[in-house]
Chain A
Amino acid sequence: MPAVSVRHLAKSYGEVEAVRDVSFEVEQGEIFALLGPNGAGKTTTVEILEGFRDRSGGDVETLGVDPATRATQRWLRTRIGVVLQELAVEPYYSVRQVLSRNAGYYPTPRPVEEVIEMIGLKEKADDRVKRLSGGQQRRLDVGLGVIGNPLLLFLDEPTTGLDPSGRRDSWDLIRRLAAGGTTVLLTTHYMDEVEALADRVAVLSHGEIVASGTPTSIGGRDSGAVTIRFMLPKGATEPDVPVAVTSIDNGLVQIVTDDELRVLHTLTGWALDHDHVLIGLAVVRVTLEDIYLKLTREALDDDETSGR
C-alpha cells in the first residue's frame, strides 16, 4: 500500500481552481517532492492530505484512510508529522520542555533525548528556543514534527529562509529520517533541494502536475542534448570550426548536440592542430532549473492562450 495516494484531486475556492486533476502516489519509505512556484497549489494539496482542508473532488488516501473522515482523523494525526512553512516553535520554553510537551500528545512518541540528539541540539537542550539560531530552530521544528514517531512526515518548504549551512543541516536530518524508514512528502520551490533529497518529484504549476519522475530523468533530462561553448579563437572564423555551429554571438560559439563526445574530440583535435586556445570551453547539461522554468512557463503560456 502506498503511504499517500491521490487521484484526480481538485480544490476550488469559489471561482478559483487552486488544484486541478492532480494524481500521484508516494511509496512507503521514499522522499517525494512537490516542486512548484508560489501559488502552484503545493500547500493546498498537502493540507488536504493532512486532513486540514477539505477537497472539492477526487480521491485521497493518507496511510490508507481518507483524511477527511472525522472518525479516523485523530488516529491519522498520531501517525503523521507536520512541519509548516512557519517556524512554529514557542519562544519561551527550553528545547527539552517543548519537545516533552509535544511528546505527551502522542500514544507512542520517540524518546525526547533521542530526538534532541537526532536534531543535534544536545548542548542547547536547556536553552530557551528564542536563543537558538534560525537553522537550530528549524531543526527543533523538524524534531517536533517527528516526536510522535510518525510513519509519514509532511515538510512544507522546510528550508525557506535558512542560510546555506542551516539548509545543509536540515537536509542531513531529513535524509537520516528517511533512512530510518519515515516516508517524507516535502514541498519546495528550490531545485537544489529536490536534487539533494528527493527520490521522486512532481512539478506542480497552476494547480496541475506538469511533469513527474526522478530528479535525474524529469523532463527528458537524462536523454537531452548538451550545449558546448567556447570563445572563437583568434585568427579563426566561423567556417573554420569543424562542426556545425548552432549560434555565435560576440565570439561566443554555442554548439547544441546529443553527441558530445565526438563533437568534443573533433573540436579539440582541430584546436591542437592549429595551436588554438579554446577559451571558456564548457559542456553545459540542461539543469533541473532549466526544465523547471520551461515546464512552469509552458503551463503559464497554455493558461494565457486558453484565456484564463
Chain B
Amino acid sequence: MSTDASTPTKGAFNGINDVKLVARQVRYEQLSFWLNPIGAFFTLGFSTIFLVMLSAIAGNTKIGAGYGSVKLVQYYLGSFVSYGVMAACFTVLAQTLVNRREMGLLKRLRLSPVPTWALLSAILLSTLVIAILQMVILLAVGRLGFGDYLPTHAVAFILTVVVGMLSFTGLGIGVSTLVPNADAAGPIISIVFFLLLAFSGLWFPIQPGTTLANVSAYFPVRHLITAVLASFNLPGGAQPWAWGDLEVMAIWGVVGLFIAARRWQWSPRRG
C-alpha cells in the first residue's frame, strides 16, 4: 500500500460526519429544485392556481347532500392539500428518481463515499420540505383569499398529512422503479397522478355510496382526501380521526416500498 501522507489507514473513513453530510445534501437538493423554475412552478404554482380558479368559480356554492351545508371552496382547500402532498411526494419524487437513474447520477453517487442511507434521506427530507411549503401556501391562500377556515383538529390534520406524505413517498419510489426510461417518466407518472386525483374527488365532491366512491376507495388518494377533509370537520360532524383512511394509505405506502425493494436499480435501464 502506498504510504503517502494523504492516504488514511486503509479501510478507515475519516470524512465529514454523516449528519452534516445529510444537511449539506438537503441544501443542494433544495438548490437543484429551485434552480429549475419550470419544475418549481409546476409543483408549487399549479396547485395554487387551480385552488384559486376553482374557488373563484365556486363562489358561495354549497356542496349539499352528504356534506351538509358546507361551502365548496372549503372542500377544495382540503382536496388541494391532498393534491399538494401527492404532487411533491409522488410526482416530483418519482420523476426525479427516474431522471437521475437514467442520467447515471444515482450510480455516480452510489460510487461516491456518501453512504446510501444519507443520500436517500436527503432526497426524502428535501421532498418533505417542498410538500410542507406547498401546504402552507395552500392553507394561506384558502384562508386569506377565500375566508376558508383552517383544519379544526390540527393534530389530526398533521398526522393525516404526515401519513399521506410517507405513503406517497413510498409509492413514488415504487413507481420510479416501474418506469423504464426518462422519456416515459413524464407521461406515465402524470397520467397516474391526474387519473387517481380525478376519480378520487379532487375536482368535485364524490358522494358517499356512489360507484365512483366505491371504486376510488381501493386507491390511496381518495383516503387522503377524506382524511384531510375529516380534520376540517367535513362533512359536518365527521370524526376527525380517520383511522381507516390512514390504514389504507399506509398499506399502499408499504406496497410501494415493497416494489421498490425488489426492483430498485442504481444504473440506467436504458429501456
Contact = CB atoms under 8 A, between A and B. Distances in A.
Interface stretch (B54-62, B106-114, B190-198, B244-252): B106-114
Interface in A40-78: 50-52, 63-65, 71-72, 74-75, 77-78
B103 A87 contact: yes
Given A64-B1, A71-B11, A149-B6, A104 B113 contact: no
A144 B13 contact: no
Interface stretch (A15-23, A89-97, A265-273, A278-286): A89-97
Interface residues of A, number: 40
A148 B105 CA distance: 16
Contact of B14 (A64, A91, A107, A144): A107
A88 B14 contact: no
B143 interface: no
Contacts of A128: 35
Contact of B8 (A87, A105, A107): A107
Nearest to A84: B104
A90 B29 CA distance: 11
B69 interface: no
B112 A77 contact: yes
Interface in A252-274: none
Interface in B90-118: 102-105, 107-108, 110-115
A84 B110 contact: no
A210 interface: no
B36 A92 contact: yes
Interface in B162-221: none
Contact of A97 (B31, B102, B113): B31
Contacts of A92: 32, 35-36
B144 interface: no
Given A78-B15, A104-B24, A88 B7 contact: no
A75 B8 contact: yes
Contact of B21 (A63, A104, A144): A104
A88 B113 contact: no
A52 B110 contact: yes
Given A52-B110, A75-B12, A88-B108, A1 B1 contact: yes
B16 interface: yes
A78 B16 CA distance: 12
A108 interface: yes
Contacts of A149: 6
Given A75-B10, A105-B114, A82 B36 contact: no
Contacts of A107: 8, 13-16, 113
Most chain A beta carbons < 10 A, residue from B11, B113, B114: B113
B50 interface: no
A105 B118 CA distance: 11
B268 interface: yes
B132 to A, nearest CB: 22
B107 A84 contact: yes
A216 interface: no
B95 to A, nearest CB: 14
21 contacts: A28-B2, A64-B1, A64-B10, A74-B113, A75-B11, A75-B12, A75-B13, A77-B112, A80-B111, A85-B104, A86-B102, A86-B104, A86-B107, A87-B104, A88-B105, A89-B103, A105-B15, A105-B113, A107-B8, A144-B108, A151-B2
Q: Which 10 A-B pairs have the closest CB atoms?
A: A86-B104, A88-B104, A92-B35, A107-B15, A72-B11, A77-B113, A88-B108, A74-B13, A84-B104, A82-B111
Given A80-B111, A106-B15, 13 more contacts: A50-B111, A51-B111, A52-B266, A72-B10, A74-B113, A75-B8, A85-B104, A88-B103, A90-B32, A105-B113, A107-B13, A144-B108, A149-B6
